[in-house]
């Protein structure tokens, strides 16, 4: 076994050690304040919750295991979380939930910034205890790497005060939701700091954080205080009526180049940081599919939820041929990965992973700032 090193400063340096999730016991979330609103009214998931079928779990695990083999064939060490009994009832003194969610999308729960692994607050009640699936690994890394830091953001109470009640109505139109997104009015209030790790992108000394459904301004302020040696920038994407997690909207693939979802464009006034430092933002290719797989509440734009292995190599879901073609033309070696039938368990290739170690040191990619 190679020496354990915890260190990752960005999204593109050579990946050497990663966590890949599991689908065991995964559930479709029961209705709760932050989850109801995220399911589009016409989704086949509307009104359905509970443990997913064993056949679908087995298929997702098969695809996850094949993904692991692909990564290991490239010399990357892969660890897996320890699934909980996600189909059991949970609660705190403030609320009760019918069941939990799962541990397939590890990117949502933990982020590695430098030598620190940080557990996010999470904004869904069903995901409050999800960090426990990763604790055995984190404790192991803590013992094996004397320079590793393990931090956990303050767990939120997630009372009804954390959510805007008027967001819950099925009668709210997409047009109204887009208007709210333009005004930065989301389902989560500013009652207490909230953030999911998958709303954060690492660019060396700079962290880009999406303000949306799962991360509020207090959460971003907490991150600024927690990482005083980093520059933390808030972004939002008005074209997204359900803004949750940044990695199907804004995807850096190497220094100086970012893919941006063409229907969720970064506003002009927020592009200055990138333009002043000679970063090119290009529109991602169109998805190969017109709709997501059944029982999936994620959008078709999981097509751009890619995993960069190094500045010249990238994993892309194998059916997303247009995204693969675009990256090939950009000079990347594209590794196709069969993953579409696992989407419903928490996303695609980037979602399902958490970096433990990427080679490379801390760099300043945005030296020109006002």
pLDDT tens digits, 220-239: 999 999 999 999 999 999 98
The domain tally of the chain equals 1
- 126 catalytically annotated: no
Contact in structure between 221 and 154 (CB atoms under 8 Å): no
Instruction: Give yes or no for residue 45 having a pLDDT over 80.
Output: no
Contact in structure between 361 and 24 (CB atoms under 8 Å): no
d(CA 253, CA 313): 9
pLDDT tens digits, 326-356: 999 999 999 999 999 999 999 999 999 999 9
Instruction: Give yes or no for residue 38 having a pLDDT over 60.
Output: no
Whose CA is closest to 78, among 124, 23, 15, 129?
A: 15
Q: Report if residue 3 sits inside a domain.
A: no
The confidence score (pLDDT) of residue 153 equals: 98
pLDDT tens digits, 103-146: 999 999 999 999 999 999 999 999 999 999 999 999 999 999 99
For residue 165, what are the domain limits? 15-358
Q: Report if residue 308 sits inside a domain.
A: yes
d(CA 15, CA 218): 31
Q: How would residue 43 be classed by pLDDT, with cut points 50, 70 and 90?
A: low
Q: Report if residue 7 sits inside a domain.
A: no
The confidence score (pLDDT) of residue 160 equals: 94
Q: Out of 17, 247, 351, 355, which one is annotated catalytic? A: 351
Q: Report if residue 287 sits inside a domain.
A: yes
Q: Report if residue 183 sits inside a domain.
A: yes
Q: Report if residue 2 sits inside a domain.
A: no
Give the CATH number of the domain where residue 270 resides. Answer: 3.75.10.10
Q: Out of 245, 247, 350, 355, which one is annotated catalytic? A: 245
Q: How would residue 167 be classed by pLDDT, with cut points 50, 70 and 90?
A: confident
Contact in structure between 117 and 149 (CB atoms under 8 Å): yes
The confidence score (pLDDT) of residue 284 equals: 98
Share of the chain above pLDDT 70, in %: 96
What average pLDDT does the chain have?
Answer: 94
- 196 catalytically annotated: yes
Instruction: Give yes or no for residue 262 having a pLDDT over 70.
Output: yes
d(CA 340, CA 36): 24
- Main-chain phi, psi angles of 133, to 5 degrees: -65, -20
257-260 β-sheet, strand order: 250-254, 257-260, 280-283
pLDDT tens digits, 285-331: 999 999 888 777 778 999 999 999 999 999 999 999 999 999 999 99
For 61, 62, 141, 247, 317, the CA distances from 58, given in Å and listed in that order, are 5, 6, 29, 26, 19
Share of the chain above pLDDT 90, in %: 84
Q: Report if residue 199 sits inside a domain.
A: yes
Q: Report if residue 340 sits inside a domain.
A: yes
The confidence score (pLDDT) of residue 298 equals: 79
Six token digits for residue 14:
């050579």
DSSP state of 288: S
Residue 286: is it exposed, middle or buried by C-beta count within 10 angstroms (0-12/13-18/19+)? middle
- 351 catalytically annotated: yes
Q: Out of 13, 79, 108, 196, which one is annotated catalytic? A: 196
């Amino acid at each position: 076994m190679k020496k354990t090193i915890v260190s990752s400063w960005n999204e593109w340096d050579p990946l050497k050690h990663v966590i890949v999730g599991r689908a065991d016991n995964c559930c479709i979330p029961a209705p709760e304040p932050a989850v109801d609103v995220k399911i589009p009214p016409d989704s086949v998931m509307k009104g359905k919750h509970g443990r997913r079928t064993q056949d679908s779990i087995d298929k997702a695990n098969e695809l996850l295991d094949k993904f692991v083999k692909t990564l290991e064939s490239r010399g990357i060490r892969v660890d897996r979380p320890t699934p909980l009994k996600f189909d059991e009832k949970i609660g705190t003194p403030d609320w009760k939930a019918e069941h939990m969610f799962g541990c397939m999308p590890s990117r949502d729960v933990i982020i590695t910034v430098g030598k620190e692994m940080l557990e996010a607050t999470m904004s869904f009640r069903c995901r409050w205890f999800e960090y426990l699936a990763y604790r055995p690994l984190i404790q192991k890394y803590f013992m094996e790497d004397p320079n590793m830091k393990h931090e956990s953001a303050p767990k939120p109470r997630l009372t009804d005060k954390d959510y805007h009640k008027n967001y819950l109505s099925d009668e709210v139109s997409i047009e109204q939701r887009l208007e709210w997104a333009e005004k930065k009015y989301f389902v989560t209030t500013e009652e207490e700091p909230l953030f999911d790790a998958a709303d954060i992108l690492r660019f060396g000394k700079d962290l880009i954080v999406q303000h949306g459904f799962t991360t509020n301004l207090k959460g971003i302020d907490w991150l600024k205080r927690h990482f005083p040696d980093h520059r933390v920038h808030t972004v939002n994407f008005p074209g997204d009526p359900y803004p949750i997690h940044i990695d199907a909207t804004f995807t850096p693939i190497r220094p100086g180049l970012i893919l941006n979802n063409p229907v969720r464009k970064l506003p002009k006034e927020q592009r200055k940081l990138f333009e002043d430092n000679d970063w090119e933002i290009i529109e991602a290719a169109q998805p190969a599919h017109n709709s997501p797989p059944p029982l999936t509440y994620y959008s078709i734009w999981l097509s751009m939820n890619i995993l960069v292995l190094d500045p010249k190599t990238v994993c892309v879901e194998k059916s997303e041929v247009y995204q693969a073609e675009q990256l090939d033309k950009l000079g990347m070696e594209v590794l196709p990965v069969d993953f579409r039938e696992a989407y419903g368990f928490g996303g695609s290739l980037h979602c399902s992973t958490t970096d433990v170690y990427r080679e490379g040191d801390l760099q300043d990619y945005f030296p020109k700032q006002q």
